[in-house]
Structure 1
Amino acid sequence: MIMCNSHRETGSPGTMSTKGQEEEEEDYMSDTFINSLQDIRPGMPMARKIKESYQKEEKHKEANIKNRQRKIIEVEKERRDTKLNEALGNENKGFALLQKMGYKKGQALGKKGDGIVEPIPLNIKTGRSGIGHEEMIKRKAEENLENYKRKIQTRKHAEEQATDDFRMRMRNKKEEIKLKSDFSKSQRACLLLDEQKGISTPRELWYWPKLQQETNEETEEDDDDDNITEEELDVLDKLQILTSYLRGEHLFCIWCGTTYQDEEDMVSNCPGDTAEDHN
């Protein structure tokens, strides 16, 4: 019993020290440790702060690369400009050969001395396109501009033509309405003047308004022939024929609205036998 107790007493300090070490170490199963880890599984969304820091770092890298490339280009340009601005010396093989053939610095080239004095300028090609590509782009741009101007001109011409056609249609429509109005006035005047003279039947069926025409057996028999003649005439032809009848038979002008005493009076006072003469 004593040994057991002593063993228990000696063993208990060791047990306590082991528990203390376990408490000092992190608990890998605790929520604190799990939440502190970044979830790197594919498809899982990043934390907002981590994502922003990652994007900021990427932008910083891109800016450094661009700055480095810009510096390299600037350094190359400075070196190139420096070399181009330097005068040719004896170390240049081409210049040395020219001097052996009698060339002097500042002298023009050629047997007669009418050539160039300055060296041919150096055109540096910085792009990655082939030779002639810029000329092709310029030519295409000019062609596109010409095509655009041509389309604008064609569209403008089409609009002007459409406007002219519309104006012509409206003018023709107004003239047609005016002709129909004058013809209707002539029919009514013909009916009134014929009745005043005791004429019961018009010379032609269309001389009078259709609602006022008498429908007897004689007119029905001759209706077919009259319709054929009427259909062959347009409003202008009918108006000219009817006004000529009114002027010759009744000495009446529909545009003057006057019945003249005799033919001499009509010739003297009436401007003419058309609507244009009365404008």
Structure 2
Amino acid sequence: MEGEEEGEEEEDYMSDLFIKQDVRPGLPMVRRVKEAIQKEEKQKEANEKNRQKSIKEEEKERRDLVLKSALGSENKGFALLQKMGYKSGQALGKSGEGIVEPIPLNIKAGRSGLGHEELKKRKAEEKLENYRQKLHMKKQANEQAADQFRIRFKTKQEERKMEGDLRKSQRACQQLDAQKDIDMPKEAWFWIEPEEEDKKDEEDKEDECTSADLSVSEKLHILTAYLREEHFYCIWCGTTYEDSEDLSSNCPGDSAADHD
């Protein structure tokens, strides 16, 4: 008996010790309490959502059931229609040209006012249209910039080609004049000096033989005309013809475009 009493006393002591340690205030205990409270709140929210969902579902089911059910004579509106000669399933109107089925019910969800959805739709369409206009304007600007670049590039190429043709004409003029023992050029810029030619850079430097009075194209036109009249020579054909008749008969023309 004494042994049993001592065993029971030891068990009670260990149980009291465990309870005291478990309920001792501290961080683990506070954390467990907070977690329990949060869990309870989440459960309440879930229950409330489920309850609201079930209420909405019930309302929808009741509404669908009523809409599917035909009106009976107990309905005052239907009774008035019957007094005016209306029969179930008949179209409305004096000549029966009206609708047969009732206008469908459009349930409005949300708390926004009437016309709010239409306003949102209109604003969205305006925003989309503005975006499309901006894209179109940007595309046009890019196309214009590309066209301007192509024009500048083509103009630069044409200018360089004319400069090259002018130098070629100057060299040909100097050689052909020398063959006729002409010591001085008709115009100072008709010839190109060898020491000046060595200084030329066709890619980076401008033609130094052109004057401020005449452009490169004007110089080229004057000089090529002189070569054709004086020497029956065409720089684009690279040929000296026998006479003016031979030149006019066999040369395509007096410009670079005629030889393309």
Structure 1 residue 194, shift from structure 2 partner? 2.0
Q: Does 1:239 align with 2:216?
A: no
- Does 2:161 correspond to 1:178? yes
The answer for the alignment partner of 2:199 in structure 1 is none
Deviation at 1:38, TM superposition (A): 5.6
Match of 1:182, SS? helix
Alpha-carbon distance between aligned partners in 2 of 1:255 and 1:100, rounded to the nearest angstrom: 104
Please give the secondary structure, in 2, of the residue aligned with 1:232: coil
Which whole-Å CA distance do the structure 2 matches of 1:236 and 1:80 have between them? 89
Cα 1:117–1:24 shift into 2, 3 Å: closer
1:267 to 1:128, Cα distance in 2 relative to 1, 3 A: same
Which residue of 2 is the match for residue 274 of structure 1?
255
One of 143, 153, 158 as aligned partner of 2:136: 153
Cross-structure match for 1:202: 185
The amino acid that maps onto 1:207 is: F
SS state of the match for residue 163, structure 2? Answer: helix
Q: Secondary structure at the match of 1:266?
A: helix
1:89 correspondence with 2:72: yes
- Encode CA deviations 1:121-164: one digit per residue, 9 max, x unaligned: 22111221111111112222222222222222222222222222
How far is the alpha carbon of 1:238 from its aligned partner?
0.7
Q: Could you report, residue by residue, the CA deviation over 1:195-227 in whole angstroms, capped at 9, with x for unpaired residues?
A: 3322232222221226668xxxxxxxxxxxxxx
Deviation at 1:171, TM superposition (A): 1.2
How far apart are 1:102 and its partner, in Å? 2.9
Q: Which residue of 2 aligns with 1:225?
A: none
CA distance in 2, matches of 1:91, 1:58: 49
State whether structure 2 residue 240 is matched by structure 1 residue 259: yes
Paired amino acid for 2:183: S
Q: Specify the alignment match of 1:67 in structure 2.
A: 50
Write the distance in 1 (CA, Å) between the matches of 2:23 and 2:103: 73
Identity, in percent, stands at 60
Normalising by the residue count of structure 2, what TM-score does the alignment of the two structures yield?
A: 0.78
**Equivalent in 118, 121, 134 of residue 138 of structure 1:** 121
Query: Does residue 1:129 correspond to 2:112, yes or no?
Result: yes
Deviation string 1:39-70 (CA, Å, 9 cap, x unpaired) is 76xxxxx47x954x555444433322222221
Q: 169, 180, 188: which one pairs with 2:171?
A: 188
- TM-score where L is the length of structure 1: 0.73
C-alpha separation between the residues in 2 aligned to 1:154 and 1:65? 53
Query: What one-letter code is carried by the residue in structure 1 that aligns with 2:238?
Result: G
Matched residue, 1:13: none
Q: What amino acid is aligned across from residue 59 of structure 2 in structure 1? A: E
Q: Provide the rounded CA distance (Å) in 1 between the counterparts of 2:240 and 2:99.
A: 99
CA contact (8 A) 2:23 2:29 kept: no
How much does 1:172 deviate? 1.1
1:248 to 2:236 alignment: no
Q: Which has the larger radius of gyration?
A: 1
Q: Equivalents in 1 of 2:93, 2:106: separation in Å?
A: 24
C-alpha displacement of 1:269? 2.4
The equivalent position to 1:76 in structure 2, one of 34, 51, 59, is 59
Contact 2:169 2:223 in 1 (8 A): yes
C-alpha RMSD over aligned residues: 3.2
Relative to structure 1, is the Cα distance of residues 99 and 249 closer, same or farther in structure 2, using a 3 angstrom cutoff?
A: same
| Structure 1 unaligned spans of 5+ | 1-22, 41-45, 214-228
Report the AA paired with residue 240 of structure 1: H
